[in-house]
A and B are shown apart, each in its own frame.
Chain A
Amino acid sequence: MATRPATFKSSDSFSGSLDTYMSSIVDVKSTKEDRSLPPEPTAPVMETQGLNVFYGDFHAVHDVDLAFGRNEITALIGPSGCGKSTVLRCLNRMNDLVTGCRVEGTVTYHDVDIYGKKIDPIEVRRHIGMVFQKPNPFPKSIYDNIAYGPRVIGMKVDDMDAHVEESLRGAALWDEVKDKLKQSAYGLSGGQQQRLCIARTIATHPDIILMDEPCSALDPIATSRIEDLMTELRSTYTIIIVTHNMQQAARVSDRTAFFTAKPDETTGNRTGLLVEYDLTKKIFSTPHDERTEAYISGRFG
Chain B
Amino acid sequence: MTSTTIEYTRESVQAAVSTGRSRDRNTGSLVFLILLWFSLFFGVMVLLVLIVNTAIDGAPRFDSELLTNYDSTLFPEKTGFRAGILGTVWLMVTTAAMAVPLGIAAALYLEEFADGTRWYNRIIELNLQNLAAVPSVVYGLLAVAVMALIGFQRKGIVLGGAIALALLILPVIIITTREAIRAVPNEIRFGSLALGATMLQTTWRQTLPSSIPGIATGTILGLSRAIGEAAPLLLLGIAGAVRFDPTGVLSPTTALPIQIYATTSQSQEAYQQAAAAAIIVLLVMVLALNGLAIFIRNKFQREW
Q: Which residues of A pack against B, CB within 8 Å?
A: 92, 94, 97, 99, 122-123, 125-127, 129-130, 132, 134, 136-139, 148-149, 152-153, 197, 200-201, 204
Contact = CB atoms under 8 A, between A and B. Distances in A.
Contacts of B188: 136, 138-139
A98 to B, nearest CB: 10
B93 interface: no
Contacts, number: 67
B196 A132 contact: no
A122 B199 CA distance: 9
A94 B194 contact: yes
Contacts of A138: 188, 191-192, 206
The DSSP consensus for interface residues of chain B is helix
A28 B57 CA distance: 85
B201 interface: yes
A164 B188 CA distance: 20
B261 to A, nearest CB: 47
B198 interface: yes
17 contacts: A122-B196, A122-B197, A125-B196, A127-B196, A129-B194, A130-B190, A132-B194, A136-B190, A137-B191, A148-B197, A149-B195, A149-B196, A149-B197, A152-B197, A152-B205, A200-B195, A204-B195
A122 B194 CA distance: 8
Query: Of A92, A132, A139, which is in contact with the most chain B CB atoms at under 10 Å from its CB?
Result: A139
Nearest to A124: B196
B205 to A, nearest CB: 7
A152 B187 contact: no
Interface in B163-208: 185, 187-198, 201, 205-206
Contacts of A200: 191, 195
Most chain A CB atoms below 10 A, which of B117, B196, B197, B198: B196
Given A132-B190, A134-B187, A149-B196, 9 more contacts: A94-B190, A125-B193, A125-B194, A138-B191, A148-B195, A148-B197, A149-B197, A152-B205, A200-B191
Contact of A136 (B115, B187, B197, B198): B187
B191 A136 contact: yes
A148 B193 contact: no
Contact of A97 (B185, B190, B195, B198): B190
A101 to B, nearest CB: 13
Contacts of A153: 195-197
A263 B196 CA distance: 36
B180 to A, nearest CB: 14
Given A94-B190, A125-B196, A139 B205 contact: no
Interface size class of B (residues with CB under 8 A): 20 to 34
B302 interface: yes
B210 interface: yes
B201 A152 contact: yes
Closest 7 CB pairs of A and B: A126-B196, A136-B187, A130-B194, A149-B195, A152-B197, A136-B191, A125-B196
A146 to B, nearest CB: 11
Contacts of B185: 136
Contacts of A139: 188, 210, 302
B193 A97 contact: yes
Contacts of A123: 196
Nearest to A201: B195
Given A136-B188, A138-B188, A122 B195 contact: no
A184 to B, nearest CB: 10
B302 A152 contact: no
A197 B201 contact: no
A204 B196 contact: yes
Contacts of A204: 195-196
Contacts of B302: 139
Contacts of B189: 97
Interface string B110-126: 00000111000000000
